């Protein structure tokens, strides 16, 4: 069924022998010509034929990226640590060891069924070293198989799978979300069809890859690519292309002063935040082709979103929790900028709390130390809300500060129409504040 490379396989049962005679007899008795009947409408959506798509017009260029392995020649320890982070793992070639998502064998062991019609389902298969998504429509007996080429996402919240059709990149219809959610239709997909035709535009890749060259950079919504795609958000995403830096230091091995490279710590807060805001904010409409931005540049010359330092949106109504269901990694900077901590500081930014070179997830003691750099635990008195029956708040530097002041919220990415009460992946709200106890 799936041993066909990356080609589409569409199967319909043949009508032969005794069955064919019976069908013809019934058709004649009813006064209809069975051969002229329209087939049932397809519910499996495929991309246009490759021959019908416009060819890329761009010529591959060398943007000057050298890759993390070259960076590791001098920064071995930082590279070894950074490889464990979600940034490095946010896109990779689709191999079985690149995902924690469960896949089945030959049988339909792992299936996503449409809540609209359970006859419409996606079978997840691991065969011949590849990861496959097979769309099945029990009504029309259609079957489509596509082999995943790319895994999107580190797995912290979930992973989506992509495939190549010539130079064009498409998203597969099933996404695996972190437990307790599991496999579901990919976010935004209609569940009354199996859609293999969703394009993956340059704006998507810009946050999930170091570099990709759009095949037609004159178009905003373009999903063809030429040349090599460098997967993962690796060293040069924050430090800029390293070719000239590496050439200089190879020629001058005794020079310890960094040349031709961006050191984010040396940038102003606005320019440093711009690097993070490229992917962790609502950066607005594209003003220049995807992958044009470089660290140290002004992000608002590339995207039309609100300028850094602009007045925050009006406060949330009620207790401040209203916006939490919309929390996602692409608005963390927007939420942070609403925080009193951010507004009251001239320097606080993403890297004040996050070391991008180090995997720190769940390390409460480390994050507490960073909170205590500004907040002296001795000055934070315990409080008690007797009417609500709450226990005293422990401002002792040991209790995880983020559990109360950056609570976890349900991300919207797994939500589907009618699924508001379903389990969803959780992510911390980056609006630092004082929240009601759950």
Does the pLDDT at position 21 exceed 60? no
Element counts in the chain: helices (H) and strands (E): 12, 17
pLDDT in tens, 332-369: 998 999 999 999 999 999 999 999 999 998 899 999 99
- Give the pLDDT score at 83: 96
Angle among Cα 148, 200, 154 to the nearest 5 degrees reads: 60
Which among 1, 61, 16 has a CA at the least distance from the CA of 243?
61
Q: How far is CA 46 from the centre of its chain?
A: 22
d(CA 123, CA 113): 9
Is there a contact between 335 and 321 (Cβ–Cβ < 8 Å)?
no
Q: What is the mean pLDDT of residues 136-141?
A: 96
Does the pLDDT at position 176 exceed 90? yes
d(CA 237, CA 95): 24
pLDDT in tens, 253-293: 999 999 999 999 999 999 999 999 999 998 889 999 999 99
Angle among Cα 282, 321, 409 to the nearest 5 degrees reads: 70
Is there a contact between 133 and 140 (Cβ–Cβ < 8 Å)?
no
360 or 3, greater pLDDT: 360
**Confidence band for 307, pLDDT divided at 50, 70 and 90:** low
**Confidence band for 71, pLDDT divided at 50, 70 and 90:** very high
- Give the pLDDT score at 425: 79
d(CA 118, CA 87): 36
Is there a contact between 336 and 342 (Cβ–Cβ < 8 Å)?
yes
- Give the pLDDT score at 79: 97
Does the pLDDT at position 84 exceed 50? yes
- Give the pLDDT score at 107: 81
d(CA 68, CA 237): 10
Q: Please give the mean pLDDT across all residues of the chain.
A: 84
Which among 363, 364, 365, 401 has a CA at the least distance from the CA of 380?
401
- Give the pLDDT score at 273: 94
- Give the pLDDT score at 187: 87
294 or 378, greater pLDDT: 294
Is there a contact between 275 and 294 (Cβ–Cβ < 8 Å)?
no
Q: Residue 230: enclosing H or E segment and its boundaries? A: strand 225-231
Which among 134, 176, 199 has a CA at the least distance from the CA of 4?
134
Which among 66, 87, 98 has a CA at the least distance from the CA of 232?
87
- Give the pLDDT score at 4: 35
- Give the pLDDT score at 412: 64
- Give the pLDDT score at 39: 53
Q: How many CB atoms are located within 10 Å of the residue 197 CB?
A: 15
- Give the pLDDT score at 385: 52
d(CA 72, CA 76): 4
Does the pLDDT at position 406 exceed 80? yes
d(CA 249, CA 253): 5
Does the pLDDT at position 18 exceed 90? no
54 or 308, greater pLDDT: 54
d(CA 364, CA 356): 16
Residue 53: C-alpha distances to residues 57, 58, 71, 242, 430 (Å): 12, 15, 38, 35, 42
Residues 6+ apart with CB under 8 A from 373: none
């Amino acid at each position: 069924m799936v041993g066909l490379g990356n080609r589409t396989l569409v199967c319909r049962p043949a009508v032969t022998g005794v069955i064919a005679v019976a069908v013809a007899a019934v058709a004649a008795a009813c006064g209809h010509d069975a051969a002229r009947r329209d087939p049932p409408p397809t519910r499996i959506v495929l991309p246009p034929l490759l021959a019908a798509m416009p060819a890329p017009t761009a010529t591959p260029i060398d943007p000057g990226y050298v890759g993390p392995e070259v960076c590791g020649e001098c920064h071995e320890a930082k590279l070894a640590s950074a490889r464990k982070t979600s940034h490095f793992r946010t896109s990779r070639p689709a191999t079985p060891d690149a995902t924690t998502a469960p896949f089945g064998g030959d049988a339909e062991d792992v299936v996503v069924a449409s809540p609209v019609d359970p006859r419409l389902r996606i079978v997840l298969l691991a065969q011949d070293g590849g990861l496959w998504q097979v769309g099945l429509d029990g009504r029309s007996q259609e079957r489509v198989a596509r082999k995943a080429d790319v895994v999107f996402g580190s797995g912290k919240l979930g992973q989506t799978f992509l495939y190549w059709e010539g130079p064009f990149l498409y998203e597969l219809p099933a996404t695996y979300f972190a437990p307790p959610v599991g496999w579901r239709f990919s976010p935004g997909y209609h569940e009354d069809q199996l859609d293999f035709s969703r394009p993956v535009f340059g704006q998507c890749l810009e946050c999930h890859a170091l570099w990709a060259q759009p095949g037609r950079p004159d178009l905003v919504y373009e999903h063809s690519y030429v040349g090599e795609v460098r997967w993962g958000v690796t060293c040069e995403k924050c430090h800029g292309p390293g070719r000239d830096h590496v050439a200089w230091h190879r020629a001058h091995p005794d020079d310890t002063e960094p040349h031709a490279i961006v050191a984010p710590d040396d940038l102003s807060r606005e320019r440093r935040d711009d690097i993070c805001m490229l992917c962790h904010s609502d950066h607005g409409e594209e003003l220049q082709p995807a992958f044009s931005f470089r660290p140290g540049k002004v992000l608002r010359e590339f995207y039309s979103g609100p300028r850094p330092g602009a007045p925050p949106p009006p406060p949330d109504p009620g207790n401040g929790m209203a916006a939490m269901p919309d929390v996602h990694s692409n608005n963390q900077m927007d939420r942070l900028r609403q925080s009193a901590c951010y507004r009251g500081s001239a320097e606080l930014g993403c890297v004040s709390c996050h070391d991008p070179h180090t995997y720190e997830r769940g390390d409460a003691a480390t994050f507490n130390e960073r909170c205590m750099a500004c907040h002296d635990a001795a000055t934070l008195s315990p409080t008690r809300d007797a009417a609500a029956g709450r226990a005293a708040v422990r401002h002792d530097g040991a209790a995880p500060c983020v559990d109360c002041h950056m609570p976890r919220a349900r991300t919207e990415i797994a939500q589907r129409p009618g699924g508001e009460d379903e389990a969803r992946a959780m992510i911390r709200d980056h609006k630092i504040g004082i929240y009601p106890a759950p």
